[in-house]
Copies of this chain bind each other. A is one copy, B any other.
Amino acid sequence: MQDKLREHIEKIILLTDDEYLFVKEHFITKKFKKHQFLIQEGDDVKYSYFIISGLLKLVYTDDSEKQHIVSFAMEDWWESDYYAFFTQTKATMSLECLEDTEVLCFTLEQYKKLCDGSPKMLRFFLEKANFGFLASQRRILSSMTSNPKERYEQLLKQYPSLFQRVPKSLIASYLGVSRETLSRLSS
């Protein structure tokens, strides 16, 4: 395996070999099969996950058992129920494999040690957090300013591979429309 994690970090900040070794030992590897859950609602959220390969959905289930896709997570993404992870509370969302998936992950304790031991990683996480915030803000704005068809096209443009990998009903759930409405957009 080429080192996906190192490549990923070094898009933002360069590390010496020693620094990277220090980083690397805070992670452990895990593998999951399609349909397995990394997080289930009500669980403790032990880990934050960096996805080496595969595809996941982060899902919130509302009072009437309807599922809403908060995000898809693919190669090179970080994912978890971050509220629960950071506050060490029970998960309100689930994280489930849509494909066989390999991840690197760390606990909150390891995350803190990483931040304390490496100012560069602190910078890295700050950059990631800022980017995540901006992406969420853009999504809010897109839901306010665009109709379902436009949102569909934006998503298609941004992540074309998604559309070969997940059923349209999940895309609909991510976009916040019914699958029937999504189906009618094409025509």
Residues of A within 8 A of B (CB): 60, 62, 66, 68, 70, 82-83, 86, 115, 119, 122-123, 125-126, 129-130, 132-134, 136-141, 143-145, 176
How many chain copies?
A: 2
- State the main secondary structure of chain A at its contact with B: helix
The answer on a CB contact under 8 Å between A145 and B68 is yes
CB contacts (< 8 Å) of A126 on chain B: these are: 115, 122, 125-126, 129
Closest residue to A93 on the B side, CB-wise?
B141
Report the bound CA distance from A129 to B138 in whole Å.
Answer: 15
The answer on a CB contact under 8 Å between B140 and A136 is yes
Instruction: Give the distance to chain B from A56, nearest Cβ to Cβ, in Å.
Output: 16
Please name 7 further chain A to chain B contacts, defined as beta carbons within 8 Å, in addition to the given A60-B144, A115-B126, A126-B126, sorted by A numbering: A60-B145, A62-B145, A86-B130, A86-B134, A122-B123, A136-B139, A140-B140
The answer on a CB contact under 8 Å between B82 and A141 is no
A176-B143 contact in complex given A129-B133, A133-B129, C-beta closer than 8 Å: yes
The answer on a CB contact under 8 Å between A141 and B70 is yes
Report the bound CA distance from A125 to B125 in whole Å.
Answer: 10
Report the bound CA distance from A68 to B146 in whole Å.
Answer: 11
